[in-house]
């Protein structure tokens, strides 16, 4: 079995990574892709760092179990199946499922710290950075965190100002120029999606 072609996708919180990935999987074919998200590698809540006001900060590199993340990327690269408990953030009423990740020709590794950890970067064949303006990301974050994680507006704004934004400028934005492609997503990413999908489809054909 050939090694998978490994793509790293990063960008600021609410830059549009999830939508981009959803469309990419739909067009390239779920059977051709394996998506491994950093979101399922958060440490347990009692291990999360807290800020000066005692609020848990999920937007720091130390929030993530990178040892497991790197290990599982390596396992998938070797053609092994990986199982991982789903992380449900601040929603204790959501049952945690066991997620199974199967090897595929294309392995996508996504998350806000994908370019920050050199052990992950060393495994990547292509690096994509999804970019968006600050006010657009904030608006998306307000909607997402309310609907998916149950945070009220004050909580979202506090976390964005004290956790999300500082993390972006310290741990994410400095690696933007190391990306192979920077994809603006203020309105849409249609052209970039066309280019990347055609590239990946040809990659898959070359393997067959």
Which of 65, 80, 93 has the alpha carbon at shortest distance from 3?
80
- pTM for this one? 0.91
Top CATH class, 5-207? alpha beta
Q: Hey, where are the domains in the chain?
A: 5-207
The SS3 assignment for 130 reads strand
Query: CA-CA distances (angstroms) from residue 131 to 44, 52, 108?
Result: 29, 30, 18
C-alpha span between 150 and 119 (Å, rounded)? 33
Computed over its alpha carbons, how large is the radius of gyration of the chain? 17
| Residues forming beta bridges with residue 101, ordered by sequence position | 82
Print pLDDT tens along the chain (208 aa).
Answer: 689 999 999 999 999 999 999 999 999 999 999 999 999 999 988 899 999 999 999 999 999 999 999 999 999 999 999 999 888 765 667 777 899 999 999 999 999 999 999 999 999 999 999 999 999 999 998 888 877 777 788 888 998 999 999 999 999 999 999 999 999 999 999 999 999 999 999 999 988 7
Question: For tokens 């790197």, what's the residue?
Answer: 70
C-alpha span between 44 and 48 (Å, rounded)? 7
């Amino acid at each position: 079995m050939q090694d998978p072609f490994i793509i790293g996708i990063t960008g600021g919180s609410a830059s549009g990574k999830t939508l981009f990935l959803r469309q990419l999987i739909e067009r390239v074919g779920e059977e051709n892709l394996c998506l491994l998200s950093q979101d399922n590698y958060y440490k347990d809540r009692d291990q999360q760092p807290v800020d000066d006001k005692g609020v848990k900060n999920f937007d720091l590199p130390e929030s993530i179990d990178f040892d497991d993340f790197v290990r599982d990327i390596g396992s998938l690269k070797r053609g092994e199946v990986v199982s991982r408990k789903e992380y449900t953030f601040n929603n204790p009423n959501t049952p945690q499922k066991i997620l199974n990740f199967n090897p595929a020709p294309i392995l996508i590794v996504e998350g806000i710290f994908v370019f920050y950890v050199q052990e992950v970067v060393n495994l990547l064949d292509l690096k994509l950075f999804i970019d968006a303006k600050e006010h657009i990301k904030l608006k998306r974050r307000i909607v997402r965190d309310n609907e998916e994680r149950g945070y009220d507006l004050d909580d979202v704004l506090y976390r964005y100002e004290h956790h999300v934004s500082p993390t972006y400028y310290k741990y994410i934005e400095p690696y933007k120029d190391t990306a192979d492609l920077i994809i603006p997503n203020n309105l849409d990413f249609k052209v970039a999606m066309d280019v990347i999908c055609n590239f990946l489809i040809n990659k898959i054909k070359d393997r067959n």
